[in-house]
Structures are given as structure tokens and as C-alpha cells.
Amino acid sequence: MSVACVDWVLYNNAMESLGLSLARALHVEGHPVTRGKYENDNSWVMLPEVPRGSRVAVLDSSYRGVNDALVDTCLTLDGCRRAGMREVVLLMAHLPYARSDVHQPRHSYALPLVLSLLQVAGATSIVTVDLHAPQTCGFSRVPMREVTAVPLFADHARRMAIENPVVVSPDLGGTKRAERLARELGVGLAIMKKRRDTTASPHVRELCGGSIEGKGAILYDEEVITGASKCLIARQLLDLGAGSVYGFFTHADLTDEQSYARLLDSDFCHIAVTDTTPVEERIARWGRNPRFVVLSVADTLAGALVT
């Protein structure tokens, strides 16, 4: 029988749905962390009463207002450390600054600093979902593990019974991620190669591997933000002969309602994302649509916390 390696799950109010689902999956208690701001805009947090010496999992994520959320996470970790928790596992469902690549000399690189902040604040280990680059774990000074939503998306694709599916990577950088989903489904892989064209769009994509003619193309990427490039690729896939296009994205860090509307107005016949960000609450305000589905990573995260 699997046993949870934590006794409590503490979660940010914005992540309540995932936090409660995770607590149920682990058969432990789950409680929200109260957060707020003073009149001078400084942040504060209030932890629930947890016995000293407990092992706790702190669930949080990166979403709109990322800097405030990061400070709140650090205050929560520090509060757990000061309260005498024996172990503090940070479940950062969507790691902030994971895509802060260095593009030129003297350009800031925030990721190592962010990981150091989390460690100094009190995290004894970190678990996250679908990193932009797997080597990110090497920057952490505490044990860090990446889990993936690929099996979750594979199960969803099987339930949908997509006709003649093929997995498509939006660029060369996402090939390994898309390749894993293709292996899970036992289907082919196609790759969109990005090149610059000064006479037209600054980024023109061309198919450089695999056949999509008449197939159900599953565009898989780890994040969707504005949706603009994803919608462009969906259109291009249809122009290249795909029978239909599906969008599978782990982190739905949508900028605003316009991004949501753009995806729904696009050529995607179905879009699936996960709840690594509080997207469920946002689309409830914007208006639900059966073509936009949110899958839960509760069991995925729970699997990293059992022995």
C-alpha cells in the first residue's frame, strides 16, 4: 500500500481546487494559507495550525501577478520553517521564471536566483510539472523533481478516440516532449520548424518531419500564454492537409480574456490544458466552453509524494 510522505497539504487560495484534490488523493488534510497585503503594499501570510515536526506539502504556482505570488510563496515557506516543520516539500505546479533564458551578454538570468530564494525560504525539496527545459533541475540546491502531464494527456486523447492521430511539436525545442506523448499513444510525430522570413511574417513555420495528411494533429506544448502563435500553427496545419487540429498545453498562463477568446475562435476543434495554474476560476468568469477542457494534475503530483 502506498503511503504519503507528507502529513498536510497547504495551498494558496487561488489553487484551492487542485489543493483539495491533492489532499484527497494523498488521504491527508488540506488547508488554505491566508494571504493579504498591508496598506503599504507589503505582503503577509497566515498559516493554519499545524503540529510542530509535521511534514507538509506547500502547493503554489506561477500565474498572472507572478512576483507577488513568488513573494507569498517564500513567506509561506519561511512560516513553515519557523513553525518547526520537519519537512517542507514545495509543489510549484508551474515554476516561475522557468523560461527566463539568457539571449545576450549582461542580460539578467532569474531562474537560479528564484530557486535559491525558494531554498533559503525553507523548501527542503521541490516538485514541479513540465519544465521548459529539463536541465532546470540542475540549478536547484535542494532535491528537485520534474513530473509530467504526458500520461494525463495520453489518457485524454484515448478517451476522445481521435481518428488517425499524429502528435505535432510546435518547434524543434519541444521535440522530446512531443515525442514522449507520441510514444505513449503509439502514433507518429511531426515537427514544425521555425525560420525567419523578413518578407512576410517574422516567424514562418514549415513541416520538417512526419506526415499529417488527413490526420488528427495534436499540437502539444508545455505552455500557452496569448495563444497567438498556437492559433497560427493550427491554421498552418490545416493548410498543410491535417484533417483536424487539437491543442494540448500543460500550463494555461493566459494573459487575459482576449487570449481565451482567441483560442476559442481559432481552428482548434478541441483544447485541453491542466490546472497547474488557476485557469478554472478564470474561465468560469469568462464563460465556459465545451471545447476547452481542464484536466487535473492532482494524481500526477500525488504520485511524486508517495512511497
Whole-number Cα distances in Å, 133 to 60, 94, 111, 196: 20, 13, 11, 23
Grid coordinates representing 60?
A: 503554489
pLDDT of residue 106: 79
Fold assignment, 8-148: Rossmann fold (3.40.50)
pLDDT of residue 162: 93
Residue by residue, DSSP assigns 26-78 as HTSEEEEEEEEE-TTS-EEEE-----TT-EEEEEE---SSHHHHHHHHHHHHH
H or E element in which residue 268 lies:
none
Do domains 8-148 and 150-275 share one topology? The answer is yes
Q: What share of the chain is helix, strand, coil (3-state, %, to 5)?
A: 35, 30, 35
3-state secondary structure of 197: coil
CA 260 to chain centre: 16
pLDDT of residue 199: 45
- pLDDT tens string 157-202: 999 999 999 999 998 888 999 999 999 999 999 998 876 554 445 4
Instruction: Classify residue 13 by its DSSP letter.
Output: G
Whole-number Cα distances in Å, 303 to 3, 16, 22, 246, 307: 10, 19, 10, 27, 9
Residues acting as catalytic residues: 194
Residues 6 or more apart whose CB falls under 8 angstroms from that of 53 comprise 84, 85, 86
Considering the entire predicted model, what is its pTM?
Answer: 0.92
Sketch the domain layout of the chain as residue ranges: 8-148, 150-275
CATH of domain 150-275: 3.40.50.2020
CA gyration radius for the chain?
A: 20
pLDDT of residue 202: 44
Whole-number Cα distances in Å, 22 to 18, 166, 223, 296: 6, 32, 22, 9
- Cα separation of 96 and 88, whole Å? 19
Q: Which residues of the chain have pLDDT under 50?
A: 1, 198-200, 202
The answer to whether residues 77 and 40 touch, using CB atoms and an 8 Å cutoff, is no
Instruction: Classify residue 306 by its DSSP letter.
Output: B
Closest to 99 (Cα-Cα) out of 69, 72, 62, 124: 62
pLDDT of residue 55: 95
The answer to whether residues 144 and 137 touch, using CB atoms and an 8 Å cutoff, is yes
Whole-number Cα distances in Å, 249 to 30, 106, 210, 279, 292: 27, 32, 21, 12, 11
pLDDT of residue 167: 97
